Chains A and B, each alone.
Chain A
């Protein structure tokens, strides 16, 4: 429970932070909320020689909205989203997901970008942001590049970031039609990572037919997954019990869980089915009740 000795730097600009990363490379770790990095260091599973604390980099704070997207600064905390009801109008899935993460202590410190960079397959943001088709902006010595979340997550605890790249923000596209969303998470207790997590958002056109849908799955694969075939079967059709059941079965088939102390692979796959069915049904009701964007 005591980390190895390390050096600490607290840059005050993005350039300085990127500089430090290029200088120390493999020996350095970025510190954002510290809710994943510090436990790893305390267990001596991670032992960086340098900790680069980005909490004083002003460019990484705050968020802005453009016509077609919401851009979250890398230091956006889980709790900042959890408590911002204004987001519900255009981005209903964000608060749904934030509230399910860990406990209030972790949510006050942990950051959205840190969660993505950590690439824990059971993390809640990855499934949510995949479902929304979000991307991250990464800054390195060569400048900025935009990486879709699906391409960022390569494997368990592995991303496509270069050693000297920092995520500066997360871009979430704005829905074009009426949208409703639902996040479901099976956890053994509050503060636990998901046994199974499902985050989904559905947009419908004027006739009520599905015009866009994202279904993200957490904890049922080496990374968060997107249930593409389940999404495809819903496209262009109005939500109803039959197509929902069909989609739920396809989502379960897309899941690739491992058996462990949280349950067998068969169990987790079935919970995906149950949650996708419950989630889509809830979304159908929300859309019908007018509790959705543009209603």
Chain B
């Protein structure tokens, strides 16, 4: 029996997640659970070299293997004009390589066979001869005139993809010259991977008789994928049915379109049979995207009182072989310009240079609203360096520079209008929870005994909910989102949205929003997402945009339903519509509180007993184009102890106070925070995808790319302040990404705080024990 959740007025309550009943029983339906009759399997042949010319491909042995149905190469795709595909970032990417390969594990050929194992056997039999070329691994070298130009398909003979800048360079330089103190630091955010538990995959099922493609795909943005497919493959959009089934984590990994998808579709069209392609773990880590990989250089100027007078940032962004970042089209460096963070800086300048190297393509927004984690990490680390230089407590430095509550809506020097926040109060709450003065006293005592204890702060501001149509589009499509609500005769609701959850809890939280607006319970509302034939058009779930956009659409669509319901209620109450009030649960006749009707009663009347001339039914759709973005924020405090013998760091405490505006479901919010903090912890301490000088990927599996378990994961303490967004229909801001954005700097700052008596101001993450040990040895500290 399903859990019944009958609570009324559900908004803000810790209602158990409706979707968990199936997930915890193993009854979800993920891509790889789907098996269609006559289905074939596709495996990819991948390049062992990071940079090489392909001199010969011989598929004959693979083709001769019994059970192999089709072998595709780039030359085959070129005949269909599909050897290359456009990326969301306006670049193009090879589907199957022609001419040369540009990264290790690049897709070179596809083999389709009766079983997955046979497809792998066939792939092993494809013979490819390569003529290796020198690999360009270092993005700084890539920018030098001596470096070989990697992309021969582009007109521009350079490895620079773009130069992007924002702010007032002259003003910033002047302010830096005049500053009493200037600190500079090189801050590296290494290449990491979202590594969702479920890798990427699809089943393409083309029916030649109907000229119709059903495409099951692990997609965070099924509608956008359908449109892209219609544009690329030339299939009519209404004859493409995209189904994004249950998704086992996305974190940005499942926004782009991948070569394996295109190969599976081509194979299905060629063979008129369903074709499944799903990645193995190594394929996921090595080819379908990465995140971060920013080399940043920062300068902060400050006056004698510690007020920051200017910020300058320059960044080299390693995008790999193709710019397959999933940023909104006008933002090649995403929303990196949120880099002034929670602070009221008079002037700032930021520049980013995107660079091609012989590495896997990507630059996805791993649980962040497009380069916001990079920006947040940079400013929070830089504020730490400044505090050290000024010999000022890092909490005090932040309090002196915060945007004051009365300054909202706040115009940032890099062009954003922050909606709301009370940064000082949020930080104070976090400091109260950890008892900051007591921690600093304890630290002083331990230091006196030679022990290494550190306290790190991060007081970040995010920018999420992309975004207003004036600014945001992907390939021209405005970044609105949508909700369609149908109330059936017995008062039960099916609501469909243009987003696609991957673990965020939409089936519960959006049900709460709609139930709240309609006076129903969460159990009365079924949420459906991910099917392009049924759901209204929307841009999908990433960048913490679901609640700011689809959540807004849900509330506004529900209010449209309520507007009509009110008319029907007036009819039932036999009063004028103006005499009807909504008390949050019922329609009540003004001045006669004993005379009321419920929403289910109104719903029944919508099909059985309508006012004369009214259109039957009770439903509404809303396409929500937000007036602005939302700006969630938080104050995080990490407390660490360092083992002098091994360099291992133990996170003793971690307090996260988040302000995401109105909280729809505090338990779901806590769950999002816990998950994101765990990812942030991994990024700070154990994750990195490095390459050797030949461009070989050194973390191609979970033995080398570490994902923390419950054992390593620290205990998380959460708290909240609530500063609603003034422009969002229910005041909500989005929260899923805050912990990933905010926490890495808190961890790093804590470790650096512990080591600061040695004069240490920076160590690059991930903070492996050996790195900390090396710093300790350099400074003569040993057990």
Of B282, B770, B783, the residue contacting A262 (CB under 8 A) is: B770
What CA separation (Å) do A103 and B121 show in the bound complex? Answer: 32
Q: Would you call A64 an interface residue if the criterion is a C-beta within 8 Å of the partner chain's C-beta atoms?
A: no
The answer to whether B770 touches A263, judged by C-beta atoms less than 8 angstroms apart, is yes
Q: How far is the CB of B46 from chain A (nearest CB, A)?
A: 13
B212 CB contacts on chain A under 8 angstroms: none
Chain B residue nearest to A47 (CB atoms) is B124
Closest beta carbon of chain A to B783's beta carbon, Å: 5
> Interface 1/0s, chain A 2-36, versus B by CB < 8 A?
11110000000000000000000000000000000
Contact call B117/A189, Cβ cutoff below 8 A: no
B706 adjacent to A188 (CB under 8 Å):
yes
Q: Is the CB of A186 within 8 A of B281?
A: no
B712 touches A263 (CB 8 A): no
Chain A residues in 8 Å Cβ range of B711: 189-190
Please give me the residue from chain A that is nearest to B783 by CB atom: A274
Residue contact A267 to B281, C-beta cutoff 8 Å: no
A85 at the interface (CB under 8 A from B): no
- A189–B709 touching, CB < 8 Å: yes
Chain B interface, DSSP helix/strand/loop, else mixed = loop
* Inter-chain contact B121/A5, CB cutoff 8 Å: yes
Taken together as a complex, chains A and B put the C-alpha atoms of A9 and B777 apart, in Å, by 54
Contact of B686 among A189, A195, A274, A278 (CB under 8 A): A189
**B646 adjacent to chain A (CB < 8 Å):** yes
Measured between alpha carbons, how far is A267 from B771 in the docked complex, in Å? 9
Cross-chain contact B712 with A189 (CB below 8 angstroms):
yes
Interface digits, B264-287 against A, CB 8 Å rule (1 contact, 0 not)? Answer: 000000000000000011100000
Complex Cα gap A188–B649 (Å): 11
Q: CA of A190 to CA of B706 in the docked complex: distance in angstroms?
A: 10
**Which residues on the A side are within 8 Å of B120 (C-beta)?**
2
Taking the complex as formed, is B611 at the interface, i.e. its CB lies under 8 A from any CB of chain A? no
Does B442 interact with chain A (Cβ within 8 Å)? no
The answer to whether the Cβ of B48 comes within 8 Å of any Cβ in the partner chain is no
* Interface range, B side: 20 to 34
B712 touches A1 (CB 8 A): no
Residues A191 and B774 in contact, CB atoms below 8 Å apart: no
Contacts of B698 in A (CB 8 A): 261
Set of chain A residues within 8 Å of B712, measured between Cβ atoms: 189-190
Q: A1-B281, A2-B117 are in contact. Are A190 and B709 (CB under 8 A)?
A: yes
By a CB distance below 8 angstroms, the chain A residues around B768 are 188, 262-263
Asked if A267 and B709 sit within 8 Å, CB to CB, the answer is no
Residues of A within 8 A of B117 (CB): 2-3, 5
- For chain B residues 301-335, which have a beta carbon within 8 Å of chain A? none
Which B residues lie within 8 Å of A4 (CB)?
A: 121
Binary A-proximity of B657-696 (CB < 8 A = 1, otherwise 0): 0000000000000000000000000000010001000000
Interface check A292, CB cutoff 8 A: no
Bound CA span A261–B690, Å: 10
Q: Give bound CA distance, A191 to B120, whole Å.
A: 28
Q: How far is the CA of A3 from the CA of B280 in the complex (A)?
A: 13
B103 lies within 8 A of chain A by Cβ: no
Do most interface residues of chain A lie in helix, strand or loop, or is the interface mixed?
A: loop
Map CB proximity to B onto A185-221 as digits: 1 under 8 Å, 0 otherwise: 0101111110100000000000000000000000000
Q: Which residues of A contact B707 (CB under 8 A)?
A: 189
User: B282 contacts which chain A residues (CB < 8 A)?
Assistant: 1
| Closest chain B residue, CB of each to CB of A1 | B280
For residue A180, give the distance in angstroms from its CB to the closest CB of chain B.
21
Chain B positions within 8 Å of A267 at CB level = 647, 770, 773-774
A59 at the interface (CB under 8 A from B): no
Q: Does B478 contact A (CB under 8 A)?
A: no
Is residue B211 within 8 Å, beta carbon to beta carbon, of the partner chain? Answer: no
Say whether A271 faces chain B, with CB atoms less than 8 Å apart: yes
Query: How far does the alpha carbon of A193 sit from the alpha carbon of B647 in the complex, in Å?
Result: 18
Q: How far is the CA of A264 from the CA of B647 in the complex (A)?
A: 13
Q: Does A270 contact B (CB under 8 A)?
A: yes
Chain B contacts for A1, CB-based, 8 A:
280-282
* CB–CB B646/A274 < 8 A: yes
Q: Are B773 and A189 in touch, CB under 8 angstroms? A: no
Name the CB-closest residue of B to A4: B121
Query: What's the least CB distance linking A264 to chain B, in Å?
Result: 7
Residues A261 and B704 in contact, CB atoms below 8 Å apart: yes
Min CB gap B615→A, angstroms: 56
Q: How far is the CB of A261 from chain B (nearest CB, A)?
A: 6
By a CB distance below 8 angstroms, the chain A residues around B708 are: 189
Interface residues in B198-235 (C-beta closer than 8 Å to A) = none
CA distance A122 to B645 in the complex (A): 20
Chain B minimum-CB-distance residue to A271: B646
B490 to chain A, nearest CB (A): 47
Is B610 interfacial (CB-CB < 8 Å)?
Answer: no
Nearest CB on A from B181, distance (A): 36
Residues in B whose Cβ lies below 8 Å from that of A270? 773, 777, 782
15 new A-B contacts at CB < 8 Å, known A262-B768, A264-B774, A277-B783: A2-B117, A3-B117, A4-B121, A5-B117, A44-B124, A186-B646, A188-B768, A189-B708, A189-B711, A189-B712, A192-B706, A195-B769, A261-B690, A263-B768, A263-B773
Interface positions of A (Cβ within 8 A of B)? 1-5, 44, 103, 186, 188-193, 195, 261-264, 267, 270-271, 274-275, 277-278
8 A-B pairs in the complex with CB atoms less than 8 angstroms apart:
A1-B282, A2-B120, A103-B709, A186-B769, A195-B770, A261-B704, A270-B773, A274-B645
10 nearest CB pairs, A to B: A263-B770, A274-B645, A1-B280, A190-B711, A2-B117, A2-B120, A267-B770, A190-B709, A189-B712, A189-B706
